[in-house]
Amino acid sequence: MRKKGRCLIIVSILLLIISGVGLEAEQTTPYLLGLNPDSARASLASQLGYSDADSVNLVVLPDSFYTDSLVQGVIYKQYPEPDSVLEDTVKVRLTAPLTIDFPDLRGMQVGDAAEYITGLGFELQPFITRNSDEYPLNTVMKTNPEPGERIQRGRTVALIISKGELVRNPVLTSTGVPINLYEETYFQINGISVESPDSSGFTLAFKVKISSPYRHSIKAEDFKIEVRLQGGIVQRHKPEVTPVKLGPKGATTRVFKIPFTYSEIHPSIAEVMLSDAVFRLTGTYSLIVESGFTRKPIKTGDFEFNVGEASAEVTEKLTAIAFLPEDESGDESEEVEEESVKESG
């Protein structure tokens, strides 16, 4: 009988051990949502009975939740979730601002900049590379958007990466002096006006700005003004102007004048002048170095000008020329000579 009683006691103790009675109960994860990391560590330390909150293994994950409508820097997601079994490590994600000032990445190595910018939640376009005398090889020289621009994360941005300094091969002048021609002298038509209209014709005055980036003198000459017609036909007019001379890094504005006589204006030219005719300055300029020189073509953009809108008298005359009856305008099959040069004066 006594033996049977002892067996019952042993079985009861074993059941108590198996059921967990007398052992420490499992810890549950506290509710951390809305807390900042420091407050979350303090809550976990209290739950675990730690005196030092820094002993808590709380990991802030890099992928934040971007929003402009919630408090920034607080927990919006936790692993394990609240009231689940507490693990040795608790991982959280924080809120972060959706709209930020774009950082200044200039001068950073391309790999570091790419890692940093994607970590902020931006997408990257394929890299654009350019030569630069200021930024070393494989560093960021420019960004789009610009530094400091307010921008939302998730946008695709462009990094322009330096290819290093451009290696420039000098050009030899007529006397063998080497000279770098990596910049262009600026020639541009800045304005056109109609002058001296009368019964026989009128004059177009072209205001031209010229500036040189070189440390050498230049001489520009052989100027021509192109009038572009439909079908790719070009008519050139040579203004009466003396060569333009500029000193080192000089600048000037000149007026080139071209007289037009009504009796010499072809109907197709008259029609173009009554619309937005396209004018362009051409010619050559020489860089003068010591006793030698090297010659370069003049490059300018197009300038549109409606001659008819500038003078009622000229409009009337050009209209009469452009819309002459067939028996007065001559052979309609005759075309304006392509690439022709009309010497004025």
Domain parsing of the chain, residue ranges = 26-96, 100-162, 171-325+336-343
Cβ contacts of 62-65, under 8 Å, gap ≥ 24:
62/119, 63/93, 64/93, 64/94, 64/95, 64/96, 64/121, 65/93, 65/94, 65/95, 65/96
| Cβ neighbour number for residue 243 with a 10 Å cutoff | 12
Beta bridge partners of 150: 101
For residue 274, give both structure tokens.
């009554």
Q: Which helix (H) or strand (E) holds 195?
A: strand 186-195
Homologous superfamily (CATH) of 171-325+336-343 is: Immunoglobulins (2.60.40.10)
pLDDT of residue 29: 87
Task: Give residue-wise pLDDT tens across range 332-342.
Answer: 434 444 444 44
- Res 173: pLDDT: 59
Residue 233's pLDDT is 56
| Identical topology for domains 26-96 and 100-162 | yes
Residue 87 pLDDT = 86
Domain 100-162 has CATH 3.30.10.20: yes
pTM comes to: 0.45
Rounded CA separation 208/187 (Å): 7
What per-residue confidence (pLDDT) applies to 333?
38
The parts of the chain modelled with pLDDT lower than 70 are 1-25, 166-184, 229-234, 287-294, 324-345
pLDDT for residue 100: 92
Q: Which fold has domain 26-96?
A: Trypsin Inhibitor V; Chain A (3.30.10)
pLDDT of residue 170: 63
